[in-house]
Structure 1
Amino acid sequence: VTWTNPSAVPELFDVLFKNTSNIIFSQTFTISQVTNVSEIVGITTGSPLYRLVIDLESNSLFKDGLYIVEVRTRNPSYTATYSLDIFILSMIAGLNINDKNIVVSMNVPKTFLAQYQNFSSLSCLYIQYSDNINECYGDSTSCLSLPSDLLSILPTCPLPIPAFTYDNSSILFTRTFNRSYAWLYAYAWNHMTSISSKDFFSFPLSSDGCNLPIVQFDIYNPVIRWARRIQRSQAFSIAVQIIFNCSRSLNNTKQWNILECNTDTERCYQTQTLNQLISQLSSANTSEIYIKSQILPIGTYLFNFTVSMNLQTDILASDYTYIKIIPSDIRVNLLVHGTSVITNGIAQSLLFQPGVYSIDPDSNYFNVQVNYIFFYIFNVPLHT
């Protein structure tokens, strides 16, 4: 917001979000609640520029759609108003592809369902099949442009781009395959955002009585920004439930993988350290992986689980969840050994040293140089 009245400073900023003529949300800022960007960068001439921050993500009043944003800047003697149109659109998340566990033979049309959070008419779906065929679904014009995180790995959508076919809240698409086993990668995004959601789905094409297993996480966090948070000093496990659907044999192989994630780009990648960790974990080949405390550094990780049938290794299922390792809470000790009750004479000195005796569970020593603030509460009885 720019303030152009040189006679005085603004005192209040009103921000109103309107849907046609109705006010959906409003918030008023005082001059102390906004940031003077001009002052920060050292600009002393011209009209000052103020930054106002509105939290859209945690506000349940906002739904996807077009809004009129009106900003009023005022003081007792002057008022200025400006408005603009914005479109609020949620990021695609939690993409999942399934075939309702229906197995068809080769050269027979096979139907898939795509499900994901925050689906809207502005969404796009990109399917990359194992036989090097790509397909896109959605708006024929807007879905031609890929989001920034897909530009380097996918070609543009082939034409024509068909519109969505709906099955309740899911998107339905069909494909015919001429091999006994196939797979697909799926990517979904809203064409006004820059980040996509991805999924991998493999499947057999046969009628030999062995279908894909179904994998379900006990605690499921498929969105990187809402990863399950665990303190570094805590051991934890991740468990999955597997539903097998193979009458020939239930022998199977389970495998966990851990990838390190960049939360800015929302991309995850394997590292030599994590691969070595997996090779040393006996639980990496079970349905529940166990991670000891202090093993993983602070950061965000993708835990991917895959189960395949030994009878036919291309019959497999895979899914993933996100874990965020965060710093542990400091255990504050005022005295040695964490003593909680002491008796001290009135004439005796009492020295509290939380910077010496406190414990950082994530480290072998307590770094007193870090900016900690300690509060002391005393209960001193009065004697007459």
Structure 2
Amino acid sequence: MSLVNGDLEAARRAIADQVKFDILTESHEADNEKARQEVARCFISDTITGRIPTKEMYLYASRATLGDDVYHEPSTLALEAHMAKLTGKEAALFLPSGTMSNQIALRTHFKQPPYAVLCDHRAHINTYEAGGTAFHSGAHTYPVIPANGHHITVEEVEAHAVLDHNIHYAPVELISLENTLNGTIFPQDEIVRISEFARKHNLKMHLDGARIWHVAAETGTSISELCAPFDSVSLCLSKGLGAPIGSCLVGPKDFIHKARWFRKLFGGGMRQTGILAASAAYALTHNFPQLPRVHALTRKLEAGLEEAGVRITSGAETCMVFFDPSTIGVSLPELVEAANQLPNPIKLGGSRLVVHVQTSDEAVEDLVALVRRLAEEKKAAGFVYDAAKASGQGRQNIYVKVKN
């Protein structure tokens, strides 16, 4: 049934009233500032820095070009060209996330099944990408547990890499390494040895370099040298560097051309990405130089926890500390709750503490002070470390309350 002009206009206005939506509130600016203050006291992950970009990054991004990345977006193309040059590779591709970057890399490398990827058992592609390697690529995974507890070695790669033509096994066609892995630096000389093994057996090499920036900042090794042993590298722009969204996948020109096709197939072809590329450019320029301060602050946090009696399970090589507070009689849930109940709360996510470019010195000092206070309270309540009981239970530490 058609409407006469007057009724049609009234209907349109009614629909427009239903459709309209104002996301801005009177407290919008204040809420943003509060979020920036909160992120300075959050140790859950460095991904939160991208969620709360600084005012300066916001302003810089607002000046980006307006284009369409599926067709032609000047700022994004400039970012990709820079990332290719920086890593010493032929081409680069901007992607929404590190998971997509890794998964598209694997899918692009693999040609005809059966095939498999070999990696550290703790690798992101093995533990935190929702089984994407099997789902997207139909690939088997051989996860390796490093005997040294830090990184896999070429000897372990050689021992676990299935290279023969026994039809009972999926042959390894790709070795995927991660640097950093849980904040630890993979020794470059060992990476080179593994890459030489890979070349000898015609295997591809991929690097999950989500936090490769930390390696360069800590060791003084150039990004291109760190990436040289690999056929493809995924570099995250939103973790340690603090851009809102995105990773870059780099590699040979033909490889990236095919990866761009898969990006479209995966639903990752974005449109107006100029503002995201500009944010990444700002992060590369202004946030990368802050990483040495981040590492120093992480070491300060580690030292404070150790002085308070907390056991460090993985030390501060870059931006992460893993710890066990049971050595002071405190459980992780107890510590998380106590931190959250501070007048100026601190956010913790468990046994991993991540320091980032927006972490404040005050947050580190307050967290260490809280741990010391809890340790003193437990000691005053009669809890003492019982090494013998800990050994008997096969645990490294345990606190018990001494009877009066």
Q: Name the TM-score class by shorter chain.
A: under 0.3
- Structure number with the higher strand fraction is 1
Higher relative contact order (CA 8 A, sep 6+): 2
TM-score under structure 1 length normalisation = 0.25
